[in-house]
Amino acid sequence: MIIAIDGPAAAGKGELTRRLAAHFDLARLDTGLLYRAVGWRVLAEGRDPADVAAAVAAAKTLIPAHLDEPELRTEAAGSAASKVAAIPAVRAALLDFQRDFAARPPLGKTGAILDGRDIGTVICPDAPVKLFLTARPEIRAERRAKELQAKGTEAIGSAVLRDMMERDARDRERSVAPLEPAQDAFVLDTSDMDADAVFAAALDYISRKFV
Ligand code: C5P
């Protein structure tokens, strides 16, 4: 079983992916972490994430240990991620790792769930289950601000909203693998749903698909 989950930031992908992975005993890959790790490494070298040579070098030398840095969860890493993610050669360098993960899931699992922006459209176009989560920008910004505050980071709603809109626009407008639902994806607007309702709707969709 391969499940593809896509959508913009703070639409509920992470929580849904964790729950579905546990429910179906699937290996889970948060593909955003790959781009965050590349962006973060470029920043750490004092380079600009839009610097193609620096970003491609970081992508080509990425190893799993680079994915464990706690700083990858910061907004600075998210913003750097969306800049390196717009570079076609960076995406190309990360492609095989993601496809291999889906084809040969680790830990003896018999299936995989991947979440990101282009899983249903580019990484796993043949995935039998594709979900695209979305939500109104104000709601997503509010969720993200709450998450940051819970981690003890100061977050002002209006600034989070502005950064998120900027990142969304970069992700939607880039020339390679732009953020968009696959034609055969189930699109779910989570604006007025809690995590339990999103999980229930996803399970209902999956069970109807396999009847
Ligand atoms: O999901 P997350 O917020 O961690 O992703 C960070 C950034 O990485 C996104 O804004 C996007 O630019 C990029 N990304 C991508 N393709 C993916 C996953 C993430 O371009 N499959």
Write the pLDDT tens digit of every residue in 148-195: 888 888 888 888 999 999 999 999 999 999 999 999 999 999 999 999
Residue ranges making up the domain that contains 72: 2-209
Mutate to test the pocket of ligand 1, among 3, 33, 95, 117 (most ligand atoms within 8 A of CB): 117
Gap from CA of 75 to ligand 1 centroid (Å): 12
pLDDT of residue 209: 87
Gap from CA of 82 to ligand 1 centroid (Å): 6
pLDDT of residue 142: 94
Among the atoms of ligand 1, which is closest to the Cα of residue 82?
Answer: 12
Gap from CA of 90 to ligand 1 centroid (Å): 12
Q: Which residues contact 61 (CB under 8 A, 6 or more apart)?
A: none
pLDDT of residue 166: 93
Among the atoms of ligand 1, which is closest to the Cα of residue 115?
Answer: 21
**Cβ of residue 121 lying under 6 Å from some atom of ligand 1:** no
How large is the average pLDDT for residues 117-146?
Answer: 96
Among the atoms of ligand 1, which is closest to the Cα of residue 84?
Answer: 12
CATH for 99: 3.40.50.300
Domains of the chain: total:
1
